Each structure stands twice: as C-alpha cells, then as structure tokens.
C-alpha cells in the first residue's frame, strides 16, 4: 500500500517512491528562522512534516529515509534581534535553536538526520560555490554595490510551481521587493553586500563580489545539495513558501546542477486562530509555552493540529485543546480497560504490548478496524479520516465488541496507528497521576454513590468536584477526571 501525496508542482496526487537506485528516500523540509520561539502555526507545518517522516519510515524502513531540515540563522530578523539584544548573532540563534528543539521534542517530532545552519562556515562555502557557478553560467550578475542577483529571465521554467506568470506584478510585493540594485524587478538576491546594519555579520563573498551574507533562498538549494545530492525525492514547507522561496530554490538549483531539483513538492496550509491570521498585534499568536501556561499539554496540541486536513486551513481554538486532551485520555482508558479484560494489570499495557508492523496491520488476513486509519493516512495524509477510523476501532474496544482473543491484537494495531500519528498517550498516565488525592477520593465516592443508584448524592458530589475545578466523565465501566477550563 503506497503513500499517495498531492504534488504542488503537477497538482496531481502521486505515489511516493525513492527515485535513486540506492532506495533511499530523500526528504528536505524548510526549517525555522531562529530569532524567537516558533508559534503554533509554524508547528502545524512541522507536525505535518513529522507525520510524513513517520509514514515514510514505516513504508520504506527507518534506514531508507534521509530527512534534512535547515535552520535559518542569518537573515534580517536574526541580525535585527542580535543587534537589539547587543549579543552575538550565534548566541541569539543558538538560544532559539535550543528552544525550537525542546518544543519539537515536546510535540514528539523526530529530529531530522541533518540540520544544517545557513551561517555554518561549511555551508557558507557551499552557498558561495553555488553562486560562483551561477555567475559563471550567466544565471547571475553582480550589482554595483557588490551584491549578486539571480537573473530570472535566464531560467525559462521560472513560475511553473507557483504559476507566478499568471499573477499580477504588484509594486512592493515579494516579487518586486528589494529592487534598488536589480536589473529587473523579478530578480532576487543570492548574495547581499554588507551594510552597516549587518554589524559584524559578514563573510567573504562569491568571486568579484563584496563581503556580505547569503540571500535566504540559496541556503536551501546549497544545503540540500550538499547533504542529499542535486536531486531530492520530496521537498516540503508551509504554503507561504511556495512563492517566492521554493520557486527561487528551483531556479537556482536547476540552473546550477542542470537536473531536476525535487521530484515531489508538498505544501501544507496555514493555521488560523479564531478565524484570523496569527499576529502579535491581534494578540492571537500562541507559543507552546503560552499553551502550557494555560494548562494544556503539547500532545493535546499535536492532536488538535492533526485533526484538520493538512491541505486545508485549520482554525485553531482553545476548545480544540480540550477536545485533544479528552480524546487522548479516552484512547488511553479504552486500551487500558480492554487489556484489563484480558487479565492484564491496570496501566501495564504500554509496557507489555508493542505496535504491530504496518505489513501485518494491512494484511488482508486480518480484519482490524485500525487498518482503515492507516489507509486514510496513505491517501494524501487524510488525518481527519484517519482519526475518525481510529475511533471506530476505539469504540469497538470500549463497547466490548471484540472477542477476548482479538483484544490484544487490536490494541497492538491501535498502538501502531498512534506511532504513525506520533501521539504519545503515556502523557495521559502522567495526567492521571496528577489528580490530587482529595479529588480522587471525591470521585471514588461519587462513583460508588452512582453504582448504589443514590443519584442525589452523586449529583452533590459532582457539584463539589466542579467547584474544585474538575470534571468527571462517566463511562459504562469507569470514569476519568479532567481539569475544567479556567
């Protein structure tokens, strides 16, 4: 069962296959600019990329996937931040890189195999070498101030990815920005000559040009080539990168290397907050820390981010985090209680049972509910369908609709889907342990009152729990406790 994914270049949904004879799938995804904490919109893109990485590994095997994601650690924003703080650029970007790594780990995102930095001297050299080739081939030119620009008219294929030729050229758009030194409004910077605002951040440039720093687009072309070779299998990013960033990457790479840059392009859509674009001025820009301060776990956020189709805009609300937390707890309880029916000790299933392999999961010989969840993921990352199918399986376990002999197998299948989605339900055990003893005692009393059909007492005890900030969710064979909204 191959993974099918929409290709932004051909606008077709195509199967993913490694193109090179070594069978290694080469996957590049544009990483963060490290000048502040990434927001939850950025993390939607990184979580979707992590899902892709997981699916690729499950499909081709972990040693047959090579994942590279860059760090943009030199550009206007990082330099401005370093100058505002009066700290060296490297110190500032290191701090935000560490924060980014910590947030990725909290969201259970696998680290890429390589994470090159644009300002790493090795990769500055790679970028300069690439610009030298583009100058030699006549695809680039030096401007009067010593900057180097890419000559868009030298690449007839320009605009194929974004259909930019169909767009209107507006003054001040990304297409025409920083036009002062250019021969043509659509040309873009490969190398930016040093300006006083850049402070001490400068490197020797391509032949015949001034000291300065690389333009943003060239880093991805040069670093993906250095680490994955001139042709990659899949290149991804958020939809805002389609133009001009990815269009420019294609132009630079294909003119320099004379070969296809990426066989497949994938762009995930943006996260909106309360129906609006996220921005500091609207006060709707959240980081992982902002959500943690409100009592939400990063895993509830991962669930919420996966609940929408990655190629459709997703409207984030705080309520979606309650839904996420509740769903994770429900999954944990369903699996735990089903396992207890087979004689396993409470809270032991995650230690005893392991995810089943995908081959076994989809094998026609088995009729597990969870195979449809995997099939939905392989169908252009249809995460809402995958989650829906997953809950059909969970419901079957909850309602004891599965023979005792099959329960453990079904739980292993569920674990396999959770691994593919990167949803770590062990966090639900921690959440369980976090219930204070007096609240746990009140809940036990209420459960006993309900069992004894003393509904008046059960109601009073529920009110006490609510007043203490807890909600009790009843099921046929047990209950769970959750912190109420503040």
Near Zn ion by CB under 5 A, which window of 220-228, 360-368, 374-382, 422-430?
220-228
Residue from 24, 25, 41, 422 touching ligand AMP (CB under 6 A): that is 41
Long-range contacts of 12-21 (CB under 8 A, 24+ apart): 13/380, 14/264, 16/56, 16/59, 16/233, 16/234, 16/264, 17/233, 18/60, 18/64, 18/233, 19/231, 19/233, 19/263, 20/229, 20/231, 20/233
Is residue 220 within the footprint of Zn ion (CB under 5 A)?
yes
Judged by DSSP in three states, 361 sits in helix
Cα dihedral 43/46/51/52 (nearest 10): 160
Q: Which does 221 bind (CB under 5 to 8 A by kind): Zn ion, ligand AMP, none?
A: none
Is residue 241 within the footprint of ligand AMP (CB under 6 A)?
yes
Residue from 237, 308, 310, 422 touching ligand AMP (CB under 6 A): that is 237
Q: Cα 228 to the chain's mean position, in Å?
A: 20
Q: Which does 240 bind (CB under 5 to 8 A by kind): ligand AMP, Zn ion, none?
A: ligand AMP
x/- contact string, 21-40, with ligand AMP (CB under 6 A)? ---------x-xx-------
- For ligand AMP, the closer CB: 127 or 139: 127
Question: Helical H runs in 203-352?
Answer: 216-228, 247-257, 288-293, 298-306, 318-341, 349-352
CB of 168 to ligand AMP, least distance (A): 23
What phi-psi label fits residue 168: left (phi over 0), alpha (psi between -120 and 50 degrees) or beta? beta
Residue nearest to ligand AMP as judged by C-beta position: 238
Residue from 159, 215, 238, 355 touching ligand AMP (CB under 6 A): that is 238
Is residue 82 within the footprint of ligand AMP (CB under 6 A)?
no
CB of 384 to ligand AMP, least distance (A): 17
Q: Which does 220 bind (CB under 5 to 8 A by kind): Zn ion, ligand AMP, none?
A: Zn ion
Residue 55: DSSP 8-state: H
Is residue 45 within the footprint of ligand AMP (CB under 6 A)?
yes
The CA-CA-CA angle for residues 473, 477, 482, to 5°, reads 20
Residue 113: DSSP 8-state: S
- For Zn ion, the closer CB: 243 or 370: 243
- Residue whose entry in the numeric block shows the structure tokens 């939905």: 376
How large is the angle between the packed helices 383-398 and 371-378, nearest 10 degrees? 180
CB of 237 to ligand AMP, least distance (A): 4
- For ligand AMP, the closer CB: 30 or 92: 30
- What percent helix, strand, coil does the chain show, rounded to 5? 50, 15, 35
Distance in Å from the first CA to the final CA of the chain: 45
Listed in sequence order, the residues at least 6 apart from 132 whose beta carbon sits closer than 8 Å to its beta carbon are 206, 207
Question: Helical H runs in 24-88?
Answer: 40-60, 76-85
Q: Which does 44 bind (CB under 5 to 8 A by kind): ligand AMP, Zn ion, none?
A: ligand AMP
The token pair at 159 is 């605009």
Is residue 71 within the footprint of ligand AMP (CB under 6 A)?
no
Determine the Cα–Cα distance for residues 209 and 148; give it in Å rounded to an integer.
7
Q: At residue 417, what are phi and psi to the nearest 5 degrees?
A: -70, -40
Is residue 42 within the footprint of ligand AMP (CB under 6 A)?
yes
CB of 52 to ligand AMP, least distance (A): 13
- For ligand AMP, the closer CB: 49 or 209: 49
Q: Which does 91 bind (CB under 5 to 8 A by kind): Zn ion, ligand AMP, none?
A: none
Q: At residue 3, what are phi and psi to the nearest 5 degrees?
A: -85, 125
CB of 249 to Zn ion, least distance (A): 6
Is residue 68 within the footprint of Zn ion (CB under 5 A)?
no
Is residue 234 within the footprint of Zn ion (CB under 5 A)?
no
The token pair at 345 is 């000790």
Near ligand AMP by CB under 6 A, which window of 16-24, 42-50, 117-125, 221-229?
42-50
Near ligand AMP by CB under 6 A, which window of 16-24, 246-254, 270-278, 403-411?
270-278
Q: At residue 316, what are phi and psi to the nearest 5 degrees?
A: -90, 135
Residue from 240, 319, 444, 459 touching ligand AMP (CB under 6 A): that is 240
x/- contact string, 346-375, with Zn ion (CB under 5 A)? ------------------------------
- Residue whose entry in the numeric block shows the structure tokens 């490290």: 34
- The rounded radius of gyration (Å) of the Cα atoms in the chain is 26
CB of 62 to ligand AMP, least distance (A): 24
- Residue whose entry in the numeric block shows the structure tokens 């985090």: 321
x/- contact string, 5-44, with Zn ion (CB under 5 A)? -------------------------x--------------
Site residues (vs Zn ion, CB under 5 A)? 30, 220
**Binding residues for ligand AMP (CB under 6 A):** 30, 32-33, 41-42, 44-45, 237-238, 240-241, 270-271, 278
């Amino acid at each position: 069962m191959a993974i099918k994914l929409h290709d932004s270049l051909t606008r077709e949904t195509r199967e993913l296959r490694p193109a090179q004879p070594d069978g290694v799938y080469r996957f590049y995804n544009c990483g963060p600019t490290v000048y502040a904490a990434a927001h939850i919109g950025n993390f939607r893109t990184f979580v979707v990329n992590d899902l892709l990485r997981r699916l690729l590994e499950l499909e081709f095997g972990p040693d047959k996937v090579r994942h590279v994601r860059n760090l943009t650690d030199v550009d206007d924003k990082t330099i401005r931040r370093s100058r505002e703080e009066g700290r060296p650029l490297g110190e500032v970007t290191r701090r935000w890189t560490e924060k980014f790594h910590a947030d990725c780990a909290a969201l259970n995102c696998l680290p890429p195999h390589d994470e090159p930095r644009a300002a790493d001297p090795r990769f500055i050299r790679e970028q300069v070498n690439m610009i030298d080739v583009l100058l030699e081939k006549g695809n680039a030119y030096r401007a009067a101030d010593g900057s180097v620009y890419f000559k868009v008219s030298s690449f007839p294929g320009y605009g194929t990815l974004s259909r930019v030729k169909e767009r209107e050229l507006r003054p001040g758009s990304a297409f025409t920005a920083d036009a002062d030194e250019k021969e043509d409004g659509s040309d873009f910077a490969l190398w930016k000559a040093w300006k006083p605002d850049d402070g001490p951040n400068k490197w020797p440039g391509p032949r015949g040009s001034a000291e300065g720093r690389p333009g943003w687009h060239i880093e991805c072309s040069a670093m993906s080539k250095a680490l994955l070779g001139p042709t990659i299998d899949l290149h991804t990013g958020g939809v805002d990168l389609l133009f001009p960033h990815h269009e420019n990457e294609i132009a630079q790479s294909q003119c320099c290397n004379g070969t296809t840059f990426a066989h497949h392009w994938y762009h995930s859509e943006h996260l909106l907050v309360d129906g609006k674009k996220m921005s500091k001025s609207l006060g709707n820009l959240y980081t992982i820390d902002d959500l943690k301060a409100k009592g939400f776990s990063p895993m509830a956020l991962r669930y919420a981010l996966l609940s929408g189709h990655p190629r459709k805009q997703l409207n984030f609300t705080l309520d979606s985090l309650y839904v996420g937390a509740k769903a994770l707890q429900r999954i944990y309880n369903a699996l735990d209680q089903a396992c207890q029916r087979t004689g396993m000790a409470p809270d032991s299933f995650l230690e005893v049972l392991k995810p089943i392999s995908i081959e076994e999961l989809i094998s026609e010989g088995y009729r597990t509910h969870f195979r449809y969840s995997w099939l939905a993921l392989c169908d252009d990352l249809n995460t809402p369908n995958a989650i829906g199918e997953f809950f059909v399986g969970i419901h079957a376990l909850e309602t004891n609709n599965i023979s005792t002999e099959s329960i453990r197998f079904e739980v292993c299948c569920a674990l396999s889907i959770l691994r593919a989605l990167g949803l770590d339900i062990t966090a639900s055990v921690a959440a369980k342990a976090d219930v204070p003893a007096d609240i746990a005692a009140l809940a036990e009393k209420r459960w006993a009152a309900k069992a004894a059909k003393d509904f008046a007492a059960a109601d009073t005890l529920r009110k006490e729990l609510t007043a203490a900030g807890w909600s009790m969710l009843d099921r046929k064979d047990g209950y769970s406790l959750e912190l109420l909204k503040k």
